[in-house]
A and B are shown apart, each in its own frame.
Chain A
Amino acid sequence: MAITEADVRHVAMLARLALTDEQVGALTAELGALLGHIDELQHLDLEGVQPTAHPLAMTNRTRADVVVPGLSREDALRNAPDTDGTAFVVPAITGGGDAS
């Protein structure tokens, strides 16, 4: 499965990365090499092999439903580029997002 420059630009758009044409060219080659490696797996007979859900052989790690103290609002907002003292202030949304 060969990766094209169009694929790279699409993924860059999804990840909100502004790439130069040179970067697109370089990344197409690099990602192509990576996917080529993954491609080898496609040739193996994996019938009946469970996908690896997690590298650790553990399951069912949860926590009890008990409240623990969080951050003060002052601390929560401390590193924000912009706040009004109560909320994070973000630029007006011009579309391209999603909500569910």
Chain B
Amino acid sequence: MGKDRLLDVLERYEAVIGLEIHTEITAANTKMFCGCPVAFGGEPNTRVCPVCLGMPGALPVPNEAAIEWTVLAGLATDCDIALWSQFHRKQYFYPDMPKDYQISQYDLPFCSNGMVDVEVDGPGVAERLDLDGDVVADGPVPVVEDGGYRVPIGITRIHLEEDTGKMVHVGGSEGRIAGATHSLVDFNRAGTPLMELVSEPDIRTPEEARRFAQKLRSIWLVLGVSDCSMEEGSMRVDGNVSIRARGQVEFGTKTEIKNMNSFKALHDALAYEIVRQADLLDAGEAVVQETRHWDATARRTSGLRSKEEAHDYRYFPEPDMVPFSFEPEWIASLAAQLPELPDARRDRYIAEYALPKADAAMLAADSETGRYFDATVEITGADRAKQAANWMLGDLAALLNAEGIAIGDARVTPAMLAELIGLVEDGTISGKQAKQVFAEAAETGDAPGAIVEARGMKQVSDTGAIEAAVAAVLEANPAEVESYRAGKTSVIGFFVGQVMREMRGQGNPAVVNEVLRRMLG
């Protein structure tokens, strides 16, 4: 399915999307209701106890840190924090959940009524067709701004619950349920604190859904609540999507999409589903309310073939736990601990350093990158912040990507990058040389100044030396000199190249240019 199909469908239909985002609180040392450690993987069933195995008589006790992390997450997303809240039991049967109920929250979650701003730029802007306001939207109204738009997306609630165990299906193909003869259950993950965020049905395009999830991931990372690994499943996104004719007010029948294991999958699965629903409606058929799985390889969603879904969870208040009564002072003390959040940091970079918005957003998206940038600019000074940003989003980002390492583990430290920027700015080396120095520093961890020294790379700005080189080049190329003087000034590029070669790349390009023009003219 091509992108054009989606845009074609969106001409006629408006999509209504809500997301459910589960995030494991990997910052917690222990599980939600017992003292077993929180970790990823490991030998099966080695981080378990009577509580997380659901053994009769075992009593769960809530982890205070997990509750604080959830309240912090709520505060970071403009939620109201409940002064009165409690856990409920949600009953259903599945082998990865040993108690046959999940301890979750129902009508009294810790956080509700929040909001985050989502910015869309680039090609994804095309998916939003009511930007000029000629179609009346019943959701939040997008605000057009430089190269894209911004739209506030509502958060219905964030509640806290426990994660399930993990199952491996044996006997079928590729660990799938279909054809399996039996399943192996590992309860290491069971009981891991799990935040569930439910958005309002405010999202109108797959791109907005992707940006919303990315923004939340960025906020969670800056808070430090979770490592948010979609690969390892510590952040999992499900989507509810329906479509309606443009101008129609009533919602269409929705489907729930699961198994979207990357931001790209989130976008592509929703796009596929919107087109699938439109094809049904166009053919005069109805959309069936059901849960569908995204298959990233086949690039399509398919129904789960489960019998009629009975979402009859029979919630009731968890009798093993007493309710929570939060003092406003306690909530305020947590609010005071909030770090600088991505949007605030981005806006500071724009205000203080006049960085382009997209660059500022990338630098502010996680704490480590932001700290690296701040540390670099602290040395270079604000007037060289742009260069620092360019290096970080260019050569440094490429290096981190290629090596698959975090910015905190890069051999080039903020101090080294600042030194390198200084060497370029004071004319010691050219921009081209700087790239070589950067690569060598990344390889060896040596200071840029030392590399320049050792390689004899210093850029030559001395006019006398450059004049000598220019004179030699002009003498060796009389024909080109003639054509330049005859008006073909484009050969200046050829001369610059020759002079730089003569000077083994160490000539200051600006001075070389200037001397060439003078001596040719």
When the two chains form their complex, are residues A73 and B317 in contact, meaning their CB atoms are under 8 A apart?
Answer: no
**Known contacts A76-B45, A95-B306, A96-B307: A67-B36 contact under CB 8 Å:** yes
Q: Residue A60 at the B interface, CB < 8 A?
A: yes
Contact code string B313-329 (vs A, CB < 8 Å = 1, else 0): 01001010111110000
Check B310 against A14 for contact (C-beta < 8 Å).
yes
| B21 CB, nearest partner CB in chain A, Å | 12
Q: Does A89 belong to the interface (CB within 8 Å)?
A: yes
CB distance from A16 to the nearest CB of B (A): 6
The number of chain B residues touching the other chain, given as a range, is: 35 or more
- Which A residues are CB-close (under 8 A) to B310? 13-14
| A31 nearest CB across to chain B (Å) | 14
Please state if B324 and A90 are interface contacts (CB–CB under 8 Å).
Answer: no
- Judging by beta carbons under 8 Å apart, are B184 and A70 in contact? no
| A93 proximal to B (CB < 8 A) | yes
> What 0/1 pattern do residues 33 to 76 of A give for CB contact below 8 A with B?
00000000000000000000110101111111111111101001
- Given A65-B64, A70-B49, the answer on whether A90 and B306 have CB atoms closer than 8 Å is no
* B-contact bits for A70-100, CB 8 A (1 contact / 0 none): 1101001100000010111111110111111
A96-B306 contact given A59-B323, A60-B322, A87-B168, CB 8 Å threshold: yes
A61 touches B30 (CB 8 A): no
A92 pairs with B171, CB closer than 8 A: yes
Contact B53 A71 (CB under 8 A): yes
Determine the chain A residues whose CB is within 8 A of the CB of B50 once the complex forms. 71
Which residues in window 302-345 of B have CB below 8 A to A? 304-307, 309-312, 314, 317, 319, 321-325
Cβ–Cβ contact B61 & A90, under 8 A: no
Q: Are A53 and B45 neighbours in the complex by a CB distance under 8 Å?
A: no
Contacting residues, chain A, for B181 (C-beta < 8 A): 92
How many angstroms between the C-alpha atoms of A64 and B92 in the bound complex? 29
Q: State how many angstroms separate the Cβ of A63 from the closest Cβ of chain B.
A: 4
CB nearest to A74 among chain B residues: B45
A63 near B63 with CB under 8 A, answer: yes
Q: How far is the CA of A76 from the CA of B45 in the complex (A)?
A: 7
Which residue of the partner chain A has the closest CB to B86?
A: A53
- In-complex Cβ contact of B323 among A54, A86, A98 (8 A): A54
What CA separation (Å) do A77 and B53 show in the bound complex? 10
Given A71-B48, A84-B184, A87-B184, residue A92 in contact with residue B169 (CB < 8 A)? yes
How many angstroms between the C-alpha atoms of A16 and B177 in the bound complex?
A: 21
Which one, A54, A60, A77, contacts B45 given CB within 8 A?
A77
Among candidates A65, A66, A70, A95, residue contacting B47 with C-beta atoms closer than 8 Å: A70
Smallest beta-carbon distance A67→chain B, Å: 5
- Would you mind naming 19 contact pairs between A and B with Cβ atoms under 8 Å apart? A56-B322, A61-B61, A62-B64, A63-B62, A65-B64, A69-B35, A70-B36, A73-B48, A84-B184, A86-B184, A87-B44, A87-B168, A88-B95, A90-B184, A92-B180, A92-B183, A93-B95, A97-B92, A99-B94
Q: A87-B186, A92-B169 are in contact. List 20 more A-B contacts (CB 8 A).
A: A14-B314, A16-B93, A53-B317, A53-B323, A54-B323, A59-B322, A65-B63, A65-B66, A67-B30, A67-B35, A70-B36, A76-B45, A88-B187, A92-B177, A92-B181, A92-B183, A93-B183, A95-B305, A97-B94, A99-B164
